[in-house]
Structure 1
Amino acid sequence: MRNEKQSLVWDIMEDHPWLSALFIIALQSAFTMDYRSLWFSDEVRYAEVYHQMKDAGHWLVMYLNGVAYPDKPPVYFWFLSLIDTVTPADGVSVFFLGSAVSAAIFLLSTVALARTLGCGRKTTLATGLVLLTNIFFLGIAHYSRMDLLFASFIIWANICLFKGFHSRCSGKWFMSAFALMGIATLTKGPLGLIFPLLTSVCYLIWKQRLSLLRDKALLKGLAILVAILIAWVVGAVIVDGTAFIHNIFYKQIYQRAVSSFHHEEPFQYYLIAFPLAWLPWTMAIFALPVKKLFTIDHWVDVAGMRKSTLTDGRDWAWIMFISGFVLLTCLSIKVLIYILPLFAPLAMLTAKGLLGENGKAPVINSKRLWIGIASVYLTFAVAAPFAEVFFPFDFALKGLSFTVLILGLGGLALLAVKTSGGKMGLLVMVATMVLWIQPLALQTLPSLDPLMSPRQTGEMMKGYVEQGSYPLAHKIYSGIFSYYAGTNIHETSDLAEIESILAEKDDVILVMQKKYYDRWDNRPENITVINEQFISDRPYLLIKK
């Protein structure tokens, strides 16, 4: 700590950690509300689900492309409707504002977790800054989907559970926790209740306080959770029948957990993916006294302190991270976005290790850390121009020179302050990310629309549909063209059905992947390919009869 340089900016921010964190995320998001098209695959599908909810009145059971969509519960789409109603946002800006507000809620929940687990203002502020300088978090904050809101409810449920186990007024906290778990479940799925409950049980086992599970307030909270979920299930059955519920519980929950039909990855997936997602803070590994972890004395000390109330907050954070990581690793379905609830405790632990807490010296060597993070920034800055040279498409990436320059200058600035301690390095990183996101979001990402968005093909379909063409699609990711086409599209994986429709109707507009078109043995002679668009990782053809 003797090398820690004083900073007036830091002192002002430390006095107001919540407002400081919100101000920074506002700077990162304020100019990016309507800057690009919606991308493949989730953004365009969720936009279509939202419009089907608003236009057709599907408020309990979501619909996509005119059919029931059991993948996602309704809370996130209600949240978008609230934003649509109370703000001047319209069109795609509703979805990007939804992302920004979700990111702000997630940030506040992370800061609140740090404060709840015993961190002072210094570490609480640093926790928020660690999150705000994580590249993966910044990316998700500018991508429209429900995961940040979902993770926020999980974190708030953890906060309430921790307070319930450490407060005489446990009733209100437990009931709030279970209500939040119910809302989280209706935002994305059962991980919304599994994450906090698993953390609680593991924590009580570690602390040898399992007797706390006898608290009657837990049963009241559980009743609230069950009531919330049953209310939605009953409403869904009334609206859409029992087939929808069978799909939810069997295909979407049981099969995804045990034998996923989608996104199945090997056991070690998160061991590889998580360090990449945590960049640049993954470099903290090289600034820690790792040798200490391999000494028996260290673990004897850890075990000896487990009953101490002084380590309650630290232990909850570690157990929240470790139990969640093990849970995700054991699931059949593995998607990188599922790790977001783990960012909150890890951000707190990283901040605590970097700045120290309660008079304890930092355990992370800030000089080594800033050199490591500077190397990440400079590597990206050097590699980006080569990526542009080898970019295999016939449109240019815009603004890349500015993003490269900002990252490079950020890396050099970190090297310049590497001996100034943790606070100065954090401020440099925050400034770098605030500046970096502007050209990235306003120029570079929009220039990727021809590659990442189905808008071009969808709007062409819309034009032909308005002229009387029948919209048809073969073997596509369901709903990806419907939003921009402005209509439901007849989707089928049966080529015989495609051939039958083409024979029956005089005017058809068909979209399909090029590989299926090339394999089409009995392809009718009276069809013409009128457009080809490479979307995400494969070419799609637009075919007219």
Structure 2
Amino acid sequence: MNKNSSPVWDFMEKHPWVSVLMILALQSIFTMDYRSLWFSDEVRYADVYHQMKDAGHWLVMYLNGVAYPDKPPVYFWFLSLIDTFTPANGISVFFLGAAVSAGAFLLSTVALARTLGCGRKTTLATGLVLLTNIFFLGIAHYSRMDLLFGSFIIWANICLFKAFHSEDNTKWMLSAFVLMGIATLTKGPLGIVFPILTAFCYLIWKKKLSLFRNKAVLKGVAILALILLAWIIGAILVDGTSFIHNIFYKQIYERAVSSFHHEEPFQYYLIAFPLAWLPWTMAIFALPLKKLISISHWKNVIAQRKDSANDGRDWAWIMFISGFIMLTCLSIKVLIYILPLFAPLAILTARGLLGEDDNPPVINSKKLWIGVACVYILLAVAAPFAESFFPFDFALKGISFTVLILGLGGFALLATRTSDGKTGLLIMAVTMTIWIQPLALKTLPSLDPLMSPRQTGEIMKHYVEQGSYPLAHKIYSGIFSYYAGTDIHETSDFNEIDRLLKEHDKVILVMQKKYYDHWENRPEDVTIINEQFISDRPYILLRK
């Protein structure tokens, strides 16, 4: 037996799949109904879901009573399955959906590690790296489709890798294209671009591009086309051709070439990705940088690129690098788009930390644990100061517990910094699992007045039930509809607002404060009844 092994690690290594799922369950099980839905995606997707269920919009999604071309239907079908076959109801459906999506992403990442040739040790470590990433933990507790989307992309990668490394490749190739179709109907065409780009670059690297020219690929493309055409034809029959024009031109072409939304500078991901990968970004300082920048090292890598023993490692690197470059080249840049890259990077981090087969670890675990400990302790020290500068009149709850847990985790890593990578991984897993409890149950709910439109929405609902006409000026579409319990007439035209105020005896109107302040010739019979600062701006609620 390895002198550095422990009974806990040995058990987990024998059962890596069950172990990582159990940790995720502990991180999620107490957080199914713990806070309100937040601005902006959670409340909007909740409204889309209820529009689907209540109004029967199963093919073309609707938001606030209007066709919503931004998102395809698969994620909302997935929520419906959870709603139907589990005890979850109300907002717990959305949080359970987030947890199940995180589980799917976690299992797909672990499956990718096994497919790329990792043993049980590295497979377990891969899951633990993911479960101790702060950004992943946050998304696992936020209701949106990206984790499910990423899962299908990762499974498509698994099938493509198997297709290129097995004699009977037809079933794997067809499965890959089916998964790409499902991924596309979950969020969009990046579900095709991510895996195809990885496969194409990998085959170029291996000088095996001819593997892409076979009947299995043509059959796969045909199946993919049939899946997408079935939805497109259904959407045209249900909602007409304007919806399809919106999908292909505005949502796909414009976002890729000249985004109307979330346009960021070229270097955006170079800054954002290291922050999102914390605390594992500290592994950069634990790598043998002199070796990595040496010409001889890269000559050796190129010389060994045809060696089949490196196939798994090369696929992981190419999956990460090609995806990162592709995202950087897109006009639209959103941090959540990087999630599919977490899978290969978690595998590479785990391999580097623990080694694989006869390859020794390349990450200096002592330096890494010192770096991670510094992140934990810095966050613990900064949190109380951040609270003191909090510019709102409500207190953050549970901060003292989160600070204590992070601090203890950091000092535990410092105390065991000379131990092997396994000990540090277990300490991090325990720290994050305990830390998420007060954070999710106390701190995050205390942010509801700032992050959720619930307060304003429920006031609107009360007035609508008394006969007021719901109206909104120039808001992010649909953010109040779920909690208001009704579609809201949205407009950016003050002349239209003036007309509607004259036409209706009772009106409940919401707008940003900056627009209210610049509203010329405001009617005298409108009264401010509520003001709420949501996310990063104040909203005014007015009543006639």
Return the TM-score normalized by structure 1: 0.99
Counterpart in 1 of 2:356?
357
Secondary structure of the residue aligned to 1:539 is strand
**Further displaced range: 502-511 or 241-250:** 502-511
Q: Deviations over 1:315-367 (max 9, x none)?
A: 00000000000000000000000000000000000000000000221000000
Counterpart in 2 of 1:172?
171
Task: Give yes or no for the alignment of 1:370 onto 2:391.
Answer: no
Counterpart in 2 of 1:220?
219
1:59 maps to amino acid: W
Q: Deviations over 1:243-283 (max 9, x none)?
A: 00000000000000000000000000000000000000000
Counterpart in 2 of 1:135?
134
Task: Give yes or no for the alignment of 1:248 onto 2:247.
Answer: yes
Superposition deviation, residue 295 in structure 1: 1.0
Secondary structure of the residue aligned to 2:405 is helix
Counterpart in 2 of 1:162?
161
1:403 maps to amino acid: T
Computed over aligned residues only, the root mean square deviation of the Cα atoms, in angstroms, reads 0.9
Q: In the aligned structure 2, how far is the partner of 1:310 from the partner of 1:403?
A: 44
Superposition deviation, residue 382 in structure 1: 0.2
Q: Deviations over 1:448-502 (max 9, x none)?
A: 0000000000000000000000000000000000000000000000011001111
Question: What does 1:185-334 align with in structure 2 at a 5 Å threshold?
Answer: 185-334=184-333
Secondary structure of the residue aligned to 1:445 is helix
Counterpart in 2 of 1:401?
400
Secondary structure of the residue aligned to 2:205 is helix
Counterpart in 1 of 2:450?
451
Counterpart in 2 of 1:436?
435
Superposition deviation, residue 390 in structure 1: 0.8
1:499 maps to amino acid: D
Superposition deviation, residue 127 in structure 1: 0.2
2:382 maps to amino acid: A
1:232 maps to amino acid: W
Question: What does 1:7-18 align with in structure 2 at a 5 Å threshold?
Answer: 7-18=6-17
Q: In the aligned structure 2, how far is the partner of 1:368 from the partner of 1:8?
A: 25
Question: What does 1:29-68 align with in structure 2 at a 5 Å threshold?
Answer: 29-68=28-67
1:291 maps to amino acid: K
Question: What does 1:331-342 align with in structure 2 at a 5 Å threshold?
Answer: 331-342=330-341
Q: In the aligned structure 2, how far is the partner of 1:6 from the partner of 1:224?
A: 48
Superposition deviation, residue 5 in structure 1: 2.2
Superposition deviation, residue 299 in structure 1: 0.6
Q: In the aligned structure 2, how far is the partner of 1:6 from the partner of 1:200?
A: 37
Question: What does 1:4-153 align with in structure 2 at a 5 Å threshold?
Answer: 5-153=4-152
Counterpart in 1 of 2:387?
388
Q: Deviations over 1:432-461 (max 9, x none)?
A: 000000000000000000000000000000
Superposition deviation, residue 30 in structure 1: 0.3
Counterpart in 2 of 1:494?
493
1:256 maps to amino acid: R
Counterpart in 2 of 1:534?
533
Counterpart in 2 of 1:511?
510
1:478 maps to amino acid: S
Superposition deviation, residue 214 in structure 1: 1.8
Task: Give yes or no for the alignment of 1:426 onto 2:425.
Answer: yes
2:61 maps to amino acid: M
Superposition deviation, residue 521 in structure 1: 1.0
2:282 maps to amino acid: M
Superposition deviation, residue 215 in structure 1: 2.1
Superposition deviation, residue 61 in structure 1: 0.1
**Further displaced range: 85-94 or 288-297:** 288-297
Q: Deviations over 1:138-182 (max 9, x none)?
A: 000000000000000000000000000001110000000000000
Q: Deviations over 1:410-433 (max 9, x none)?
A: 000000111111000000000000
Q: In the aligned structure 1, how far is the partner of 2:521 from the partner of 2:454?
A: 30
1:516 maps to amino acid: Y
Secondary structure of the residue aligned to 2:447 is helix
Counterpart in 2 of 1:346?
345
1:508 maps to amino acid: V
Q: In the aligned structure 1, how far is the partner of 2:499 from the partner of 2:210?
A: 67
Q: In the aligned structure 2, how far is the partner of 1:295 from the partner of 1:417?
A: 32
Secondary structure of the residue aligned to 1:182 is helix
Secondary structure of the residue aligned to 1:360 is coil
2:235 maps to amino acid: A
Q: In the aligned structure 1, how far is the partner of 2:51 from the partner of 2:451?
A: 23
Q: In the aligned structure 2, how far is the partner of 1:31 from the partner of 1:5?
A: 34
Q: In the aligned structure 2, how far is the partner of 1:56 from the partner of 1:390?
A: 45
Q: In the aligned structure 1, how far is the partner of 2:457 from the partner of 2:24?
A: 33
Superposition deviation, residue 505 in structure 1: 1.3
2:536 maps to amino acid: D
Question: What does 1:404-415 align with in structure 2 at a 5 Å threshold?
Answer: 404-415=403-414
Secondary structure of the residue aligned to 1:511 is strand
Unpaired runs of at least 5, structure 2: none
Secondary structure of the residue aligned to 1:142 is coil
Secondary structure of the residue aligned to 2:346 is helix
Superposition deviation, residue 537 in structure 1: 0.2
1:290 maps to amino acid: L
Q: In the aligned structure 2, how far is the partner of 1:37 from the partner of 1:483?
A: 11
Q: In the aligned structure 2, how far is the partner of 1:26 from the partner of 1:507?
A: 48
Secondary structure of the residue aligned to 1:380 is helix
Superposition deviation, residue 12 in structure 1: 0.2
1:182 maps to amino acid: G
Secondary structure of the residue aligned to 1:531 is strand
Superposition deviation, residue 313 in structure 1: 0.3
Q: In the aligned structure 2, how far is the partner of 1:118 from the partner of 1:44?
A: 41
Q: In the aligned structure 1, how far is the partner of 2:21 from the partner of 2:354?
A: 21
Q: In the aligned structure 1, how far is the partner of 2:443 from the partner of 2:329?
A: 37
Q: Deviations over 1:100-123 (max 9, x none)?
A: 000000000000000000000000
2:316 maps to amino acid: A
Superposition deviation, residue 291 in structure 1: 1.3
Q: Deviations over 1:371-407 (max 9, x none)?
A: 0000000000000000111111111100010000000
Q: How many residues align?
A: 544
Unpaired runs of at least 5, structure 1: none
Q: In the aligned structure 2, how far is the partner of 1:400 from the partner of 1:488?
A: 37
